[in-house]
Amino acid sequence: MKILVVNGPNLNFLGIREKAIYGDQNYDYLVKTIKDKALEVGAEVECYQSNHEGAIIDKLQEAYFNGTDAIIINPGAYTHYSYAIHDALKSLEKIYKIEIHISDINSRESFRSNSVTAPACDEQIVGHGLAGYLEAIDHAVLNRS
């Protein structure tokens, strides 16, 4: 199984940005944790992070052609307004897609509870911290087409 994990803007600042919300662990820790989990379940994983909307769309479109089975995406702030990322996700009908958020976006500022990208995904996991990524990997393996 081939899984693409896409992280949007500011996720590279884990461990730096708003530690009370996102925790003390840095992005390298997250990537290592994801790769260890993928190894445990026998999946191939690629982790990708960009602060640029177009680069994220390019990476999603690349997944269409390279045999990706599942996408786990934390669109960051793009969650709330990127119809372009929504459209890119929506076009990947044969790929299982999970939107992930470290914090509970539904219990924060009101604008955060609106996700324009979630409707293009098969499921959404919010508020489970970094462990939500590991949960998403389990869901992706379980729901493999």
- What are the tens digits of pLDDT across the range 39-71? 999 999 999 999 999 999 999 999 999 999 999
pLDDT digits (tens, 9 = 90+) for 10-32: 999 999 987 888 889 999 999 99
Q: Does domain 2-143 have CATH number 3.40.50.9100?
A: yes
Sequence ranges of the binding site for substrate: 74, 80, 87, 102-103, 112
Check 78, 96, 101, 133 and give the catalytic one.
101
Q: In the annotation, is 128 catalytic?
A: no
Calculate ∠ Cα 79-118-137, nearest 5°.
100
Q: In the annotation, is 29 catalytic?
A: no
Q: Are 130 and 83 in contact (CB under 8 A)?
A: no
**Per-domain boundaries in the chain:** 2-143
Q: Are 72 and 7 in contact (CB under 8 A)?
A: no
DSSP string, 26-76: -HHHHHHHHHHHHHHHT-EEEEEE-S-HHHHHHHHHHHHHTT--EEEEE-G
pTM listed for this prediction: 0.94
